[in-house]
């Protein structure tokens, strides 16, 4: 491919914005434009400015492409790169998975309370109290936590309705199961302080993967969310476990 350049550029090597190197050479004599004359005048016709330009030969740049920038990109840029708005994964993550987590979590909690309480009536009563505490107390805490740290860790929360749906699914689902396991463990072990420390493992195992899937967090961000969320839940669960222990509801 050939381009045109000014005569004073002959012998120089230029670089295009696209990265290619352009070497300016002197045109052949045969390629030079003929001197034109005006048939109506004795003076020769003056060539245009474009006729004074010379050809530029393009030398392809065979250097390897620059590696992509390292580090995490924003969720918006990631979505644009992966064109996730055109595939079905967001629908599965935003709508189907929360229903799955919510259904399995409620069913698992109900089974745990039926197994570890003294009667079915007690199991239903404890289940109702647990769900009420999760909706009134734990869900707003988790929502506030996510909104507070979203800009700090560059977290994509989606729409407000989608965020509330995910928070409800996590609170009543895997986090609710972890709450039940921690409560039962505290009562069974007579409130051994080692249970409080080890109880964090319930949340990591049960809620770590769902948080990572729903919000696309990395390992450090998931651990941060679980740690901050665990502190207020532990206080409320300790109080609730004490009441259940004093009433003799847990076997």
Q: Are residues 43 and 13 in the same domain?
A: yes
* Alpha carbons 99 and 76: distance in angstroms, whole number: 25
| Statement to judge: residues 158 and 237 lie in one domain | yes
Q: What is the DSSP string of 4-46?
A: EE-GGGTT-EEE-TTS-EEEE-PPPTTTSPPPPB-TTSSSBPP
Residues 230 and 144 both lie in one domain = yes
Whether 173 is in a domain gets the answer: yes
- Angle of helix 97-116 relative to helix 120-133, nearest 10 degrees, comes to 140
Tell me the C-alpha distance between 105 and 94, whole Å: 17
| Rounded Cα distance, 137 and 80, in Å | 36
**pLDDT for position 138:** 94
């964090």: which residue's tokens?
A: 200
Termini Cα distance of the chain: 86
Do residues 135 and 243 share a domain? Answer: yes
Q: Same domain for 148 and 213?
A: yes
Q: DSSP labels for 205-244?
A: HHHHHHHHHHH---HHHHHHHHHHHHHHHHHHHHHHHHHH
Q: What is the pLDDT at residue 91?
A: 77
49 in the same domain as 157: no
The total of other beta-carbon atoms located within 10 Å of residue 122's CB is 19
pLDDT recorded at residue 36? 41
Residues 95 and 177 reside in one and the same domain: yes
Q: How far is CA 181 from CA 32, 82, 196, 237, 246, in A?
A: 89, 39, 11, 10, 18
68 in a structural domain = no
Max alpha carbon distance in the chain (Å)?
121
pLDDT the model gives residue 136: 94
Q: How far apart are CA 204 and CA 183, in angstroms?
A: 16
Residue 100 lies in a domain: yes
Q: Would you say residue 70 lies in a domain?
A: no
Q: Are residues 87 and 22 in the same domain?
A: no
Reported as a single tens digit per residue, the pLDDT across 89-102 is 577 888 899 999 99
Domain assignment present for residue 102? The answer is yes
pLDDT for 62 equals 57
- The answer to whether position 91 is within a domain reads yes
Question: Structure pTM?
Answer: 0.62
Residues 244 and 250: beta-carbon distance below 8 Å: yes
Domain identity same for 55 and 86: no
Host domain of residue 26:
2-59
Same domain, residue pair 153 and 239: yes
Are residues 95 and 185 located together in one domain of the fold?
Answer: yes
Same domain, 54 and 81: no
Number of domains in the chain: 2
Q: What is the pLDDT along the chain (251 residues), one digit of tens a residue?
A: 666 767 776 777 766 666 677 777 776 644 544 444 444 445 554 544 444 454 555 555 555 555 555 555 555 555 555 544 444 557 788 889 999 999 999 999 999 999 999 999 999 999 999 999 999 999 999 999 888 888 787 777 878 888 999 999 999 999 999 999 999 999 999 898 889 888 899 999 999 999 998 888 888 889 988 998 898 899 999 999 999 888 888 87
pLDDT score recorded for residue 148: 87
Alpha-carbon distance of 57 to 13, in angstroms, equals 10
Instruction: List CB contacts of 239: < 8 A, sequence separation 6 or more.
Output: none
64 falls within a domain: no
Residue 71 lies in a domain: no
Q: pLDDT tens digits, residue range 27-56?
A: 664 454 444 444 444 555 454 444 445 455
**Burial class of residue 236 (count of CB atoms within 10 Å of its CB; 0-12, 13-18, 19+):** middle
Q: Which helix (H) or strand (E) holds 56?
A: strand 54-59
pLDDT at 38: 43
């Amino acid at each position: 491919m050939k381009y045109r350049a000014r005569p004073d550029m002959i012998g120089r090597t230029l670089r295009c914005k696209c990265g290619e190197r352009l070497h300016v050479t002197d045109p052949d004599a045969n390629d030079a434009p003929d001197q034109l004359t005006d048939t109506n005048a004795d003076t020769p016709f003056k060539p245009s400015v474009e006729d004074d330009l010379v050809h530029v030969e393009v030398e392809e740049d065979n250097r390897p492409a620059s590696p992509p920038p390292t580090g995490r990109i924003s969720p918006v840029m990631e979505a644009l790169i992966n064109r996730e708005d055109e595939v079905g994964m967001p629908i599965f993550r935003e709508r189907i998975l929360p229903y799955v987590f919510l259904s399995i979590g409620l069913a698992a909690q109900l089974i745990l309370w039926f197994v570890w309480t003294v009667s079915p009536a007690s199991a239903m009563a404890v289940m109702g109290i647990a769900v009420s505490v999760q909706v009134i107390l734990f869900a707003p805490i988790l929502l506030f936590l996510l909104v507070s740290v979203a800009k700090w860790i560059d977290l994509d929360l989606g729409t407000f309705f989608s965020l509330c749906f995910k928070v409800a699914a996590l609170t009543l689902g895997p986090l609710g199961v972890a709450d039940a396991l921690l409560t039962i463990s505290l009562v069974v072990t007579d409130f051994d302080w080692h249970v409080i420390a080890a109880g964090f493992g319930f949340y990591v195992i049960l809620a770590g993967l769902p948080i990572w899937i729903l919000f696309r967090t990395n390992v450090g961000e998931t651990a941060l969310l679980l740690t901050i969320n665990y502190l207020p839940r532990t206080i409320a669960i300790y109080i609730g476990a004490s009441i259940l222990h004093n009433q003799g509801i847990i076997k």
